[in-house]
């Protein structure tokens, strides 16, 4: 590698690396998979680096990276089906009925890990990421076409002008505005509308998560009842079975999940811009092993959703070990 090439690589890294996290959130919002998003971002940066010598600054570097990432996402979505949650495939289940599993052909939506420690704290970037990766929104966007997803995120979340989106997607501004209108209508038909319940301040969300963790670990049914909204929903991919209403959710937790105090240990994390926890279940040998990532949707009226992504595979993405640590993670 020549000296000039080394200098170009260093310059590219310095200029492009600050956009990596937001591009990851964008690709996740498009694809519904953190694993696929990471692969696409890596591919985006590789393609951008290879073409960097010809980048003449006709657009901003950020826009150029988004153009590459968007095209890679559109190509990927041509070959893949949507990633649903159980509530998008069937009606609610009886909490006393046997759990129904999905077939191996079902590819589920995944949770998105919160920003790592030391990540840039640009308020605008933080707000945009939280708005774009909220679980309900990403689940609803599975009903949109690939281009409608891109238009919705770029226009509604990132607040790009229609002309900027048109340039990135190779569309006219009229087509962009039409796609946005159709995307909004489709989300409305899919039920992806605001529920009218406001979100509490960050300090209150942290306090509620702490109460939830304590109640879950203590198998405290009364404590969980006090935290859940009356219309709360609980789902647990890869099971198709999901439960609607506080009575059904509590019935399932009480009779078939919580066990005895100490069976579960939870480590608070963040996912999809929402409070979350890594849940560890105690085995016959007394060791607590990775069980699932729980993502909570919180409103001032209480917890409205518990989405539990079962299995140990996602724990590494959240920086969590396979077995519960001797001491709480800070």
288-299, strands of its sheet edge to edge:
242-244, 228-235, 302-310, 288-299, 274-282, 264-271
| Contact yes or no for 270/112 (Cβ under 8 A) | no
Give me the CATH code for the 3-79+121-189 domain, please. Answer: 1.20.140
Pick the CATH number of 202-318 from 3.40.640.10, 3.10.450.50, 1.10.3720.10, 2.40.170.20: 3.10.450.50
Angle at the Cα of 245 from the Cα atoms of 89 and 239, rounded to 5 degrees: 35
**pLDDT tens by residue, 124-145:** 667 777 778 899 989 999 989 9
pLDDT of residue 92: 96
pLDDT of residue 3: 41
In the chain, which residues fall in CATH 1.20.140? 3-79+121-189
Give the tokens for residue 62.
């950020």
State yes or no: pLDDT of 209 exceeds 70: yes
Per DSSP, the residues of 1-28 read --HHHHHHHHHHHHHHGGGHHHHHHHHH
pLDDT of residue 51: 85
In the chain, which residues fall in CATH 3.10.450.50? 202-318
Q: Tell which residue, 54, 65, 50, has the closest CA to residue 15.
A: 65
Q: How confident is the model at residue 54 (pLDDT cuts 50, 70, 90)?
A: confident
Q: How confident is the model at residue 330 (pLDDT cuts 50, 70, 90)?
A: very low
Q: What is the Cβ-side half-sphere exposure of residue 10, based on CA atoms within 13 angstroms?
A: 7
Q: Residue 99 and residue 299: Cα distance in Å, rounded?
A: 28
Q: What φ, ψ does residue 85 adopt, rounded to 5°?
A: -105, 160
Q: Per 3-state DSSP, what percentage of the chain is helix, strand, and coil (rounded to 5)?
A: 50, 15, 35
pLDDT exceeding 70 applies to what percent of the chain? 89
Across the chain, what does the average pLDDT equal?
A: 88
pLDDT of residue 132: 82
State yes or no: pLDDT of 227 exceeds 70: yes
Q: Residue 19 and residue 65: Cα distance in Å, rounded?
A: 8
Give SS3 for 72. Answer: helix
Q: How confident is the model at residue 58 (pLDDT cuts 50, 70, 90)?
A: low
pLDDT exceeding 90 applies to what percent of the chain? 67
> Which is more confidently placed, 251 or 202?
251
Q: Residue 281 and residue 312: Cα distance in Å, rounded?
A: 11
Q: How confident is the model at residue 6 (pLDDT cuts 50, 70, 90)?
A: very low
Q: Residue 179 and residue 148: Cα distance in Å, rounded?
A: 6
């Amino acid at each position: 590698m020549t000296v000039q090439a080394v200098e170009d690589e260093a310059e590219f890294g310095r200029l492009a690396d600050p956009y990596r996290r937001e591009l990851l959130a964008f690709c996740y919002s498009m694809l519904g998979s953190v694993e696929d998003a990471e692969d696409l971002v890596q591919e985006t940066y590789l393609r951008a680096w290879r073409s960097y010598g010809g980048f003449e600054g006709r657009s901003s570097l950020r826009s150029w990276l988004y153009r590459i990432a968007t095209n890679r996402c559109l190509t990927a979505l041509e070959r893949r089906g949507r990633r649903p949650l159980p509530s998008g495939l069937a009606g609610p289940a009886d909490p006393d009925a046997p759990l129904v599993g999905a077939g191996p052909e079902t590819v589920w939506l995944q949770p998105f890990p919160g920003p790592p420690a030391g990540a840039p704290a640009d308020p605008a970037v933080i707000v945009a990421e939280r708005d774009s990766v909220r679980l309900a929104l990403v689940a609803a966007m599975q009903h949109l076409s690939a281009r409608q997803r891109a238009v919705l995120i770029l226009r509604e979340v990132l607040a790009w002008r229609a002309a900027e989106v048109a340039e990135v997607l190779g569309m006219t501004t009229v087509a962009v505005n039409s796609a946005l209108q159709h995307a909004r209508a489709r989300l409305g038909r899919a039920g992806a509308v605001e529920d009218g319940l406001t979100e509490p301040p960050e300090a209150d969300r942290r306090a509620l998560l702490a109460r939830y963790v304590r109640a879950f670990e203590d198998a405290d049914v009364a404590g969980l009842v006090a935290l859940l909204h009356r219309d709360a929903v609980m789902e647990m991919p890869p099971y198709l079975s999901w439960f609607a209403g506080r009575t059904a959710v509590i019935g399932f937790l009480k009779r078939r999940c919580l066990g005895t105090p100490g069976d579960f240990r939870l480590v608070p994390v963040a996912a999809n811009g929402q409070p979350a926890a890594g849940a560890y279940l105690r085995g016959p040998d007394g060791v607590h092993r990775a069980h699932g990532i729980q993502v909570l949707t919180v409103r001032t009226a209480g917890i409205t959703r518990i989405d539990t992504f079962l299995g140990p595979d996602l724990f590494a993405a959240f920086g969590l070990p396979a077995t519960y640590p001797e001491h709480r993670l800070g």
